[in-house]
Amino acid sequence: MAISDISENALKVLEKRYQGKDEKGNVVESVEGMFRRVSDTIAKADTKFDNSVDTKKLSDEFFELMTSLRFMPNSPTLMNAGRQLGQLSACFVLPVEDSMEGIFDSVKNAALIHKSGGGTGFSFSRLRQSGASVRSTGGVASGPVSFMRVFNSATEAVKQGGTRRGANMGVLRIDHPDILDFINCKADNADITNFNISVGITEKFMEAVEKQSDYDLIDPKTKTAVGHLSAVKVFDMIVDHAWRNGEPGIIFLDRLNRDNVVPTQGDIESTNPCGEQPLLPYESCNLGSINLVKMLRKTLTGYEFDFRLLGATVEEAVHFLDNVIEVNNYPLDIIGDTTRATRKIGLGVMGWADALLLLGIPYNSDEAVDLAGKVMGYINNTGHAASARLAEKRGAFPLFSVSTYKDGPAMRNATVTTIAPTGTISMIAGCSSGVEPVFAYAYIRNIMDGTEMVEVNPVLVAKLKELGLYEDGLLKKIANAGSVENCLEIPEEVRRVFVSAQDIKPVDHIKMQSAFQRYTDNAVSKTVNFPKEATRNDVREAYLLAYEEDCKGVTIYRDGSREEQVLNIGKVN
Ligand code: UDP
């Protein structure tokens, strides 16, 4: 069976990180062999429910699903399925209890997860504030931020199975007494580099921002107010720090819990590292993404979505991801038990920006936002229907009867949809990542022997060829600018469609995030890009818009801001 359209870059990524190697580091597995290892392993899960199943046929189906580049599971599934490690999930959340044992258990568990290629999220909100007393020693507590540094160092020391470094999310509630330290903890770009951080915002806090009033700081042990701060000042401090270097992001905790399908199991306190997957403590989730470029069909005048193919792909993908839960080798028993109790999966999309280019629709247009809702709405509906059909054959997820779904049709999975960043799998599939706009249409890549190669977005290549404009000079010009905005050789109506992340206004980024979020059970990984000259007020307005638009969180990045020296970080009194 041939593997369609796989690019040279994709082959390099696969060889480096995914194909099997012997002890000396020689590649001993072909690309085809790698996909076959995955499809065989995932297909086998069906025998648990149906002993007459033709696993060879199902494996062929899963093999074709991946090698046609219609769908890719998250990296750990590609790397570890059918291998000794066998850990297949990208996303984990671990609790951090307010005790030495609890904290260091969590450090150890995170190390085990990182070793297996997964990323971890933590809420540090249960830890007592710095300066609080420690009864057993008579000393004082050092607070959440000092312990985050311990997690950060441990992460630094553990390379993920020789493939990727661990990634972490650190969350602190806005009403934790150490919140100002937390907001400031990544002000220096060289600090706590293995964490993304997000402030856990509550509705109560947002109301206080609106009313310009103070809000209470709550002692995590006694649950009583131990101080108060001006909500506006703290909000502006978050905005100021995000403007400086993109950190912290924010997540809306009450919204994550509004959509918590099993509230009997406790609160959702954190997400995975890139923010798209809220989880309960000790829960894990495996993700997979449909390549929307492959969901288009040619018409006489251009392209259109092939909803039948999309529906069939969703059905296969849900089946695949539910099987992953069965054959997954969990790093801890408690993670296996917690994960199997809700059976969350996260089916999402990639190649959205490339699909829009082919359709001739600018990313920053109402038409694109409407289409986003239509496509994701369709995926969410068909995904839920597929999960309900699986429940008929395999049974509902064990906590279904206490879930918020209990009065509707039985579901196999407590959540079905998530939009992941698809950082690596989109490279394998050769499409734009997640639901992000194209970051740069062309860039110059330095090859190891010192030669330079211009890499150009494949949809732009096809367009330039069609227009008879494909030549070196123009490609270099695009590569230097990163954008086609000022290439007057290219017709205006083409430039209008080929917009890049920097050409798109923050409000359009947020409208797109919100359109996808409306039809996504979990959350959407999205970065709102700002030009270098954006003001703090621009960032503030974007945060407020994301709140109004019912997003579950926001991550921003202002062009060039990570290279800047951080000066005069303000303090709130
Ligand atoms: N992730 C990680 N380390 C990394 C990249 C990703 O632990 O270096 C985890 C993290 O939980 C992230 C999730 O994988 O939120 C999904 O990331 P992405 O979609 O970029 O992963 P891919 O499957 O493309 O490798």
Q: What is the DSSP letter of 524?
A: B
- For CA atoms 74, 77, 78, 84, give the dihedral sign: positive
Do 34 and 117 sit in the same domain of this protein? no
CA-closest residue to ligand 1 atom 15: 274
Q: How far is the CA of 90 from the centre of ligand 1 (A)?
A: 6
Nearest CA to ligand 1 atom 5: 167
Q: How far is the CA of 571 from the centre of ligand 1 (A)?
A: 34
Contacts of 71 (CB under 8 A, 6+ apart): 65, 288, 289, 290, 291, 313, 316, 317, 320
Q: Which amino acid residue places its CA nearest to atom 23 of ligand 1? A: 74
Q: What's the rounded Cα separation, in Å, for the pair 427 and 14?
A: 10
The answer on 120 and 245 residing in a single domain is yes
Ligand 1 proximity of 382 Cβ (cutoff 6 Å): no
Q: Is residue 401 part of a domain?
A: yes
- Together in a domain, 290 and 344: yes
- Atom 14, ligand 1: residue with shortest CA distance: 90
Distance in angstroms (rounded) separating the CA atoms of residues 422 and 545: 25
pLDDT in tens, 3-62: 767 888 889 889 988 999 999 999 999 999 999 999 999 999 999 999 999 999 999 999
Structure tokens at 17: 């990180």
Cis peptide before 220 (omega within 30 of 0): no
Instruction: From the CA of 272, give the closest atom in ligand 1.
Output: 11
Cα of 495 to ligand 1 centre, how many Å?
Answer: 32
332 and 423 housed in the same domain = yes
Under 8 Å between Cβ of 243 and 237 = no
CA of 17 to the centre of ligand 1 (A): 14
* 311 part of a folded domain: yes
Q: How far apart are CA 461 and CA 487, in angstroms?
A: 15
Same domain, 131 and 264: yes
Ligand 1 pocket check for 75: Cβ under 6 Å: yes
Tokens at 290, concatenated: 């449909």
Question: Can you give the pLDDT of all 573 residues of the chain as single tens digits?
Answer: 457 678 888 898 899 889 999 999 999 999 999 999 999 999 999 999 999 999 999 999 999 999 999 999 999 999 999 999 899 999 999 999 999 999 999 999 999 999 888 999 999 999 999 998 887 778 888 999 999 999 999 999 887 655 677 899 999 999 999 999 999 999 999 999 999 999 999 999 999 999 999 999 999 999 999 999 999 999 999 999 999 999 999 999 999 999 999 999 999 999 999 999 999 999 999 999 999 999 999 999 999 999 999 999 999 999 999 999 999 999 999 999 999 999 999 999 999 999 999 999 999 999 999 999 999 999 999 999 999 999 999 999 999 999 999 999 999 999 999 999 999 999 999 999 999 999 888 877 665 556 666 778 989 999 999 999 999 899 888 888 878 988 999 999 999 999 999 889 999 999 999 999 999 999 999 999 999 999 999 999 999 999 999 999 999 999 989 875 433 333 343
Q: What angle do CA 264, 269, 273 make, to 5 degrees?
A: 130
Q: Which CATH number fits the domain that encloses residue 118?
A: 3.20.70.20
- Same structural domain for residues 150 and 265? yes
Ligand 1 touching residue 398 (CB < 6 A): no
Question: Do 120 and 52 share a structural domain?
Answer: no
CA distance 277 to 73: 15
- Centre of ligand 1 from the C-alpha of residue 310, in Å: 24
The reply to whether 75 falls in a domain is: yes
**Judgement on whether residues 15 and 78 belong to the same structural domain of the protein:** yes
Q: Which pLDDT does position 567 carry in this prediction? A: 38
Closest by CA to 177, choosing from 234, 248, 121, is: 234
Instruction: Kindly state whether residues 341 and 406 are assigned to the same domain.
Output: yes
The domain boundary, picked from 271, 302, 327, lies at 271
Give the mutation target among 120, 272, 344, 352 for probing the ligand 1 site: most ligand atoms within 8 A of CB: 272
Please say whether the beta carbons of 254 and 570 come within 8 A: no
Domain count, the chain: 3
Q: Say if ligand 1 is within 6 A of residue 90 CB.
A: yes
- Please check whether residue 217 lies inside any domain of the structure: yes
Is 423 close to ligand 1, i.e. is its CB under 6 Å away? yes
> Are 98 and 76 members of one domain?
no
161 lies in some domain = yes
Range of the domain at 202: 91-271
Q: SS3 for 370?
A: helix
Name which residue sits closest to atom 21 of ligand 1, judged by CA: 422
Q: How far is the CA of 91 from the centre of ligand 1 (A)?
A: 8
Report the nearest-CA residue for atom 8 of ligand 1.
164
> For 143-277, where are the alpha helices, taking DSSP H only?
144-157, 179-184, 203-211, 231-245, 253-258
89-118: buried (b, 16+ CB within 10 Å) or exposed (e) per residue? bbbbbbbbebeeeebebbbebbbbbbbbbb
CA–CA gap between residue 417 and residue 524 (Å, rounded): 9
CA of 274 to the centre of ligand 1 (A): 7
DSSP state of 15: I
Task: Report the atom number in ligand 1 closest to the C-alpha of 425.
Answer: 24
> Cβ contacts of residue 333 below 8 Å, gap of 6+?
none
| pLDDT tens-place string over residues 124-176 | 999 999 998 887 778 888 999 999 999 999 999 887 655 677 899 999 999 99
Q: Is 420 in the pocket of ligand 1 (CB under 6 A)?
A: yes
Q: How far apart are CA 380 and CA 515, in angstroms?
A: 13
C-alpha triplet 518, 523, 527: angle, nearest 5°: 100
CB count, 10 Å around CB of 257? 15
| Residue 158 shares a structural domain with residue 222 | yes
Query: How confident is the model over 224-263, as pLDDT tens digits?
Result: 999 999 999 999 999 999 999 999 999 999 999 999 999 9
- Pocket residue to mutate for ligand 1, from 113, 168, 251, 274, most atoms within 8 A of Cβ: 274
Evaluate whether residue 553 is within a structural domain.
no
Catalytic residue numbers? Answer: 272, 274, 276
Residues 344 and 468 grouped into a single domain: no
Q: Ligand 1 mean position to 521 CA, how many Å?
A: 19
Listed residues 429, 456, 479: the one ending a domain: 429
Residue 281 lies in a domain: yes
Which of 400, 429, 458 delimits the end of a domain? 429
Could you tell me if residue 179 is inside a domain? yes
HSE-CB at 84 with a 13 A cutoff on CA atoms is 3
Q: Is the CB of 74 under 6 A from ligand 1?
A: yes
Q: Is the CB of 272 under 6 A from ligand 1?
A: yes
Q: What ipTM is given for this predicted complex?
A: 0.95
